[in-house]
Structure 1
C-alpha cells in the first residue's frame, strides 16, 4: 500500500520524498530491525552551522503527539512543528555519486547556504 499523503488534515505544503530516498530509508530501517509500519524517519531542523540552521535525520520508533506524519512510498516521515515551518514544501532525495552519497533536502525556503552546503538560512 503506497500512499503519498500526509496522515493529518494539514493543508500546508507537504514534505515530498523521492522513491529512491524512501527505498534507501526503508532498507536502513530494516537493517536496524525497526517495524516500518510504526517507525519512520524523523526530519528536523536544528541550530548550527555557519549559516545558522542545519538538517538532522534519525529513525524513531513512532511519531510524537504533535508531529506531522507523511507517508511516501511506504516510508513514514515525522516532522515536529518547529521544524516544519522551515522545511515545508521540501523534497527529500537520496543521491549516490562519485563524490558523495546520502540524503539531500531540496528546500524552496532557503535564501542562502554556507559554502560547504551543510547549513542554511531561510
Structure 2
C-alpha cells in the first residue's frame, strides 16, 4: 500500500511527540487540486475513520481513506533534509505527471 522511509517515520514520530493534540496516527490522502489535478495531504489524526485502511509503519499508524487508496498504492513517502528546502517527498508509481513542487500529480 504505502511505504514510509525511516527518515519519514522519524520525522512524523517527532512531530507527533511534540504535538499538543492527541495523535492516533498519520492521515495521508489526496484531494483534487494542485498543478496537475491532485495534491497530497498529510496530517496528524486522532483515530481512523470507518472506511480507512490502517497501515503499521514501524509502530506508526497510517490512515488512508477509501477514495485515496487506489491513487496512493505503492507510494513511498520520504523526508529529505536539504540546505535549500527540507520536507516530505512522494514517489508515486501511479502518477502520470508530477509538478516540480513535488506536492501534486496527475
| TM superposition score category, shorter chain reference | over 0.9
Taking the TM superposition and a 5 Å limit, the aligned residue runs for 1:15-30 are 15-30=2-17
Alignment match, 2:19 = 32
**Any runs of at least 4 consecutive aligned residues in structure 1 with deviations exceeding 6 A, and if so which?**
none
Contact in 1 for aligned 2:39/2:105 (Cα 8 Å): yes
Shift of residue 119 of structure 1?
Answer: 1.4
TM-score w.r.t. length of structure 2: 0.92
RMSD: 1.4
Gaps of 5+ in 1: 1-13
Q: Which of the residues 96, 109, 113 maps onto 2:81?
A: 96
Cα offsets for 1:40-66 (capped at 9, x unmatched): 110000011121100001110110111
TM-score w.r.t. length of structure 1: 0.81
- Structure number, greater radius of gyration: 1
SS at match of 1:83: helix
SS at match of 2:77: strand
Q: Which of the residues 46, 67, 73 maps onto 2:52?
A: 67
Gaps of 5+ in 2: none
**2:101 & 2:21 partners in 1: Cα distance?**
32
